[in-house]
Amino acid sequence: METLTCRLLPFATADGQHNMAADEALLDSAVGGIASLRFYGWSEPTVSLGYFQPHGLLEKDKRLSRLPFVRRPSGGDAILHHFELTYALALPAGNRWCGPEPWLPRMHGIILDALAGCDVTAQLCTEPSKDRFQGLLCFQHVIAGDVVIGGSKVVGSAQRRRKGATLQHGSILLTVSAFAPLLPGIRELSGHSLAAPPIRVAVTAAFAANTGWDVQPADWTDDEKRRIRELTLTRYTQDAWNRKR
């Protein structure tokens, strides 16, 4: 049986425009047959809007309206990227990359296993919140399959597909932010203060164990670096994209 290979790209911290351009570049590479997993941080507190969200919603929250924002290529609700760890998984088209269940719950199950290895007990939500459409932030809304601790969401993800390939990216909320004080993180809910590096290691190990794939550290290709620069300049820094709704 063929062993599939997935690149593990180096952790990096960057602004929102670069991060979203990098994720879209991963989707382009997945269309070309390359699977990738990466973890990253944000150089300053930033809001990422879901593809279909009106940017004017930010004006309803005085804290969030002061922050830089970028529009994601994926749907879903806005995420405040502050004290959190973001992951991105890009997979080519084809049944061999699909696995036994859809990737949203599967990746959340992998993160559950990783958190358990860090002595944090979490669950997959089976009872969606009743106020599904209240508030603009993703972590205000709990839907089936989200990772929760005591009913509060600590992991949420979104997807974008292109020519059968999949980009899935999501946020692991480590601790509460002053810009969203009503959203507790893993530290407040579990009593465990987890830093990003051990979570990255744990999720990578759980991912490899779950998939059986060969997860190989690798760097961006020169073509990907050029594509990231292009997307940053022509899309993610442009009002025509970020304020398109």
Instruction: Spell out the domain ranges in the chain.
Output: 5-242
Confidence of residue 133 (pLDDT cuts 50, 70, 90): low
Mean pLDDT of 12-16: 98
Q: What number of other Cβ atoms are within 10 A of residue 105's Cβ?
A: 15
Burial of 100 (0-12, 13-18, 19+ CB in 10 A): exposed
What number is the average pLDDT over the span 197-221? Answer: 97
Average pLDDT for 139-150:
91
As a whole number of angstroms, the distance between CA 177 and CA 6 comes to 33
CATH superfamily assigned to domain 5-242: Bira Bifunctional Protein; Domain 2 (3.30.930.10)
Residue 2 clears pLDDT 90, i.e. is over it: no
- pLDDT value of residue 99: 81
Q: What is the DSSP string of 147-188?
A: EEETTEEEEEEEEEEETTEEEEEEEEE-S-BTTBTT---HHH
Q: What is the average pLDDT across 181-193? A: 95
Q: One-letter amino acid identity for 147?
A: V
125 among known catalytic residues: no
In this predicted structure, the answer to whether residue 238 has a pLDDT above a threshold of 90 is yes
Structure tokens of 105? 């719950």
Which amino acid would we find at residue 102? P
Global pTM reads 0.94
pLDDT at 83 over 90: yes
Mean pLDDT of 50-61: 92
Q: For 154-176, write each residue's pLDDT tens digit.
A: 999 999 999 999 999 999 999 99
Least confident piece of the model among 18-32, 34-48, 125-139, 174-188: 125-139
Measured between alpha carbons, how far is residue 216 from residues 10, 86, 129, 176 in Å? 11, 19, 38, 33
Supply the mean pLDDT for the chain.
Answer: 94
Identify the active-site residue in 6, 98, 118, 138. 138
